[in-house]
Chains A and B, each alone.
Chain A
Amino acid sequence: MSMEIYDTNAWVGSWPFAPVGHVDVAALRQHWRAAGVTGGLVSSLDALWLLDPTAVNAELIKATQRLAGIDPLPILNLLDPAWAEQLAALLRTKAVKAVRLAPGYGGWKLNDQRAVAAASEIVAQGRQVVLTARLVDERHEHPSVKVKPVAVKTIARWIEKVPTMTPLVQGLGRWEIEELAKTTDRFLTDLSFMEWMDTVGVISQKVDPGRIVFGSLTPLHGLAAHVNKITQSPATMARRRALAAGNARKFLSA
């Protein structure tokens, strides 16, 4: 079965707590190809923790240049007093279609006024916002480093305060997605932490299938497992194609 698969939640760089990782974009690309993934949005794990990730973001943008189908997803850290400079530099780069916010890892909170200001500016410049609500199951974190997932109520309030934004929220579990869907339909979600018998069928009852995208969380999660979640779903082929790539393409071209 041939199906375009666009991965909205892929990473390069090093992870300090486990021997996983694609050190660079070339290694990720090879890994993707082996699993039938055609391209996607890439962020750097090395940028995740930095107050000023500008240099790492710049390196990522350079590494993805001239690689068709691979789009850089730089991370903005709002803990930096000069975050507006970080953002301005990113938005000057044509290749940047979206900006990732990862509050738990950057050390700031989504209920900060800066999260509203930054999101508003990103959208005003015609780009999209991707929010990392969770990267790691909190039950499995290193005992000395605990990053809480972003609470659904906080996400809902943030979305409400930026009326021009429809963000892609990544890393929510089943009950969290359903809770968010009760408060707003102005978000997209990936399925990186959503799983149930017939994942696609279950979540499609609560969220418009046009707002669900593929995100593997590779290399922290197994890529083949997440690919199977879509390609071997009992959903119609049209729905699987939309989830695999179509919805993400629309999101990034909106």
Chain B
Amino acid sequence: MRIIDIHTHPVFFNAGIEPAETQLIMRRARQLGFVHMISLGDVLRFGRNPDEEQSRIINDETAEIMKRGRGFFIGFCALNPLLGEKVVRREVDRCVGGMGFRGIKLEVSCNAQHPAMAGVMRAAVEHDVPVLQHSWNQLNKRSRSYHSDPEDTCALARRWPNVRIIMAHLTGCGFRGIRAARGLDNLVVDTSGGGPEAGLVDYAVEQLGEHRVVYGSDLPIRDLPTAVGRITGAGLSASTQQRLLYDNAAELLRI
């Protein structure tokens, strides 16, 4: 079975920065059938609001990981939308235009409904790349001003129907997040994050369709065989499993 992991952090709070550590991840992943991993960067290393220089450091590390991987790792450009459209555009041009990154990663600098998101989305349109937005249930938290609830990410997708959105963390989005995502053809949900809570993957496929659920792990916080087991143990047909584990990501990233 071929697998693309759309949600990984090969460098995580500076761990994994050494070449031998990258090789270890690749060796382990290849043994398990992985052919690509999307490297989203060490996005919280400088806190939730990295400045321009810090954003460049994070993305330069991703570029280094891509070089080491020789095609195995695909980079997404980590951005802080609050730095303004000019800075955002400069970094997207540098990473996507100059270094072969294939998407944009947004963490928790601002909520997905913040006006500053417009600059990011215009850059995504211009470069024709998907945007992966960290999303997590905010009902039990008080951080929604900067942390996106699945309903916020769905609102973003609704406002920008010509941008491909990846709503991260199926477990964090939960059943409510899946319900919110119905009817949004430009949004897929990735299966990363949290423990392997039962019922979510099959419910997402039932409610959204098999083309709108894509495998992700959140490595190194998550264990690869466990993350894959969420898909293979969800009672889906072999062809649907393959769609979630490989085909949907390949189509989304035009591999």
**Interface set of A (CB-CB < 8 Å, partner B):** 18-20, 35, 137-141, 143, 146, 192-193, 195-199, 217-229, 231-234
B27-42 vs A, Cβ < 8 Å mask (1 yes, 0 no): 0100010000000000
Residues of chain A with a CB closer than 8 A to B201's CB: 222
Taking the complex as formed, is B123 at the interface, i.e. its CB lies under 8 A from any CB of chain A? no
Give, as a whole number of angstroms, the nearest-CB distance from B239 to chain A. Answer: 18
Candidates B137, B197, B222, B233; contact of A195 at CB < 8 Å: B222
Candidates A35, A138, A146, A222; contact of B230 at CB < 8 Å: A222
A227 touches B229 (CB 8 A): yes
B140 touches A229 (CB 8 A): no
Candidates A217, A223, A233; contact of B233 at CB < 8 Å: A223
A195 touches B226 (CB 8 A): yes
Candidates B174, B198, B234; contact of A140 at CB < 8 Å: B174
Candidates A138, A195, A228; contact of B221 at CB < 8 Å: A195
Taking the complex as formed, is B194 at the interface, i.e. its CB lies under 8 A from any CB of chain A? yes
A196 touches B229 (CB 8 A): no
A218 touches B195 (CB 8 A): no
A222 touches B198 (CB 8 A): yes
**C-alpha gap A220/B229 in the complex (Å):** 14
Residues of chain A with a CB closer than 8 A to B226's CB: 195, 199, 225-226, 228-229
Candidates B136, B140, B224; contact of A197 at CB < 8 Å: B224
- Besides the contacts A146-B140, A197-B25, A232-B225, what 4 more A-B pairs have beta carbons closer than 8 Å? A139-B137, A196-B222, A197-B220, A224-B233
Taking the complex as formed, is B6 at the interface, i.e. its CB lies under 8 A from any CB of chain A? no
Candidates A137, A197, A223; contact of B223 at CB < 8 Å: A197
**C-alpha gap A232/B232 in the complex (Å):** 14
Give, as a whole number of angstroms, the nearest-CB distance from A208 to chain B. Answer: 20
**C-alpha gap A234/B29 in the complex (Å):** 12
Taking the complex as formed, is B227 at the interface, i.e. its CB lies under 8 A from any CB of chain A? yes
B140 touches A137 (CB 8 A): no
Beyond A18-B175, A140-B172, A222-B229, is A234–B28 a contact (Cβ under 8 Å)? Answer: yes
**C-alpha gap A202/B40 in the complex (Å):** 23
A-B contact pairs, 9 of them (CB 8 A): A19-B199, A20-B199, A195-B221, A196-B223, A197-B219, A197-B223, A222-B230, A226-B226, A227-B229
Q: Which size bracket describes the interface of B in this complex?
A: 20 to 34
A222 touches B197 (CB 8 A): yes
Residues of chain A with a CB closer than 8 A to B219's CB: 197
Give, as a whole number of angstroms, the nearest-CB distance from A135 to chain B. Answer: 11
Nearest 6 pairs of A and B residues by beta carbon: A224-B233, A225-B229, A225-B196, A232-B225, A228-B225, A197-B220
Give, as a whole number of angstroms, the nearest-CB distance from A224 to chain B. Answer: 3
**C-alpha gap A108/B169 in the complex (Å):** 33
**C-alpha gap A139/B175 in the complex (Å):** 13
* Chain B CB within 10 Å, residue with most, of A20, A198, A228, A234: A228
Give, as a whole number of angstroms, the nearest-CB distance from A170 to chain B. Answer: 13
B198-230 vs A, Cβ < 8 Å mask (1 yes, 0 no): 110100000000000000000111111111111
B84-119 vs A, Cβ < 8 Å mask (1 yes, 0 no): 000000000000000000000000000000000000
B224 touches A139 (CB 8 A): no
Residues of chain B with a CB closer than 8 A to A199's CB: 223, 226
A198 touches B196 (CB 8 A): no
Give, as a whole number of angstroms, the nearest-CB distance from B108 to chain A. Answer: 14
Residues of chain A with a CB closer than 8 A to B137's CB: 139-140
**C-alpha gap A199/B222 in the complex (Å):** 8
B198 touches A224 (CB 8 A): no
A219 touches B198 (CB 8 A): yes
**C-alpha gap A137/B136 in the complex (Å):** 12
Residues of chain B with a CB closer than 8 A to A138's CB: 140
Residues of chain A with a CB closer than 8 A to B59's CB: none
Residues of chain A with a CB closer than 8 A to B136's CB: 139
**C-alpha gap A23/B209 in the complex (Å):** 28
Taking the complex as formed, is B141 at the interface, i.e. its CB lies under 8 A from any CB of chain A? yes
Residues of chain B with a CB closer than 8 A to A197's CB: 25, 28, 219-224
